């Protein structure tokens, strides 16, 4: 049973004609496509979460600043960076920043039981964990002896805003590992 109308099928087959990033080559990474879109349409809406939104320019700027901070904290190509953040614009910014740094992101749902998060952190042994202090998991993070970057603190104390908003040359290649995901096991 076809899921698309003939018109939709034709539009997809003909290629994209919208005002969003397109690329026929395979030698470019997703963060580079977003950088291109930030140059092409900086004020276009890139991401929306509940009542908040970011333009491509704002998304790229914030991701560049966080990427600079990650690089200053020793994150490099191939580093594993765990993310334990609630769903938010900050989660998208953090994923993009990790990719810009050439690292691998490991998303961990903060609603998982603490024992599950602890297992994942011990198993993956990330170089860094990005999280927020408001999560009731601080004891779990401390028990694993992991280097944490508390995103809320970096935002509130001005550390993040002090970072360069310039796009950094990334060592990431399209063939590099981008993420590691732990499934529920079902």
* pLDDT, tens digit (0-9, with 9 covering 90-100), for 95-109: 999 999 999 999 999
Whether pLDDT at 139 is above 60? yes
Q: What proportion of the chain, given as a percentage, has pLDDT over 70?
A: 92
Residue 157 token pair:
């104390």
- Strand ranges inside 32-119, DSSP E: 45-49, 52-55, 80-84, 104-107
Q: Which residues contact 29 (CB under 8 A, 6 or more apart)?
A: 99, 170, 172, 173, 174
Band (pLDDT 50/70/90 cuts) for residue 37 is very high
Half-sphere exposure (Cβ direction) of 55: Cα atoms closer than 13 Å: 10
Kindly state the average pLDDT of the residues 137-164.
87
Band (pLDDT 50/70/90 cuts) for residue 23 is low
The pTM for the full model equals: 0.82
Tell me the average pLDDT of the chain: 88
Residue 184's pLDDT is: 73
Which is more confident, 75 or 143? 75
> Collapsing DSSP states into helix, strand and coil, what is residue 45?
strand
64-118: pLDDT as tens digits: 999 999 999 999 999 999 999 999 999 999 999 999 999 999 999 999 999 999 9
Tell me the angle at which helices 89-100 and 30-40 cross, rounded to the nearest 10 degrees: 110
């Amino acid at each position: 049973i076809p899921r698309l109308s003939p018109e939709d099928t034709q539009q997809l087959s003909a290629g994209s004609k919208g005002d969003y990033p397109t690329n026929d080559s395979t030698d470019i990474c997703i963060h580079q496509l977003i950088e291109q879109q930030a140059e092409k349409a900086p004020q276009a809406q890139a991401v929306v979460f509940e009542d908040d939104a970011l333009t491509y320019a704002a998304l790229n700027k914030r991701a560049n600043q966080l990427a600079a901070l990650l690089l200053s904290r020793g994150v490099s190509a191939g580093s594993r960076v765990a993310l334990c953040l609630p769903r938010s614009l900050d989660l998208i910014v953090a994923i993009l920043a990790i990719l810009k740094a050439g690292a691998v992101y490991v998303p961990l749902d903060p609603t998982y039981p603490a024992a599950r998060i602890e297992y994942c952190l011990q198993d993956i042994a990330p170089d860094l964990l990005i999280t927020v202090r408001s999560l009731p998991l601080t004891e779990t993070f401390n028990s694993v002896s992991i280097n944490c970057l508390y995103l809320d603190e970096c935002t509130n104390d001005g550390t993040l805003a002090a970072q360069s908003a310039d796009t950094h040359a990334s060592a990431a290649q399209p063939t590099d590992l981008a993420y590691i995901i732990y499934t529920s096991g079902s």
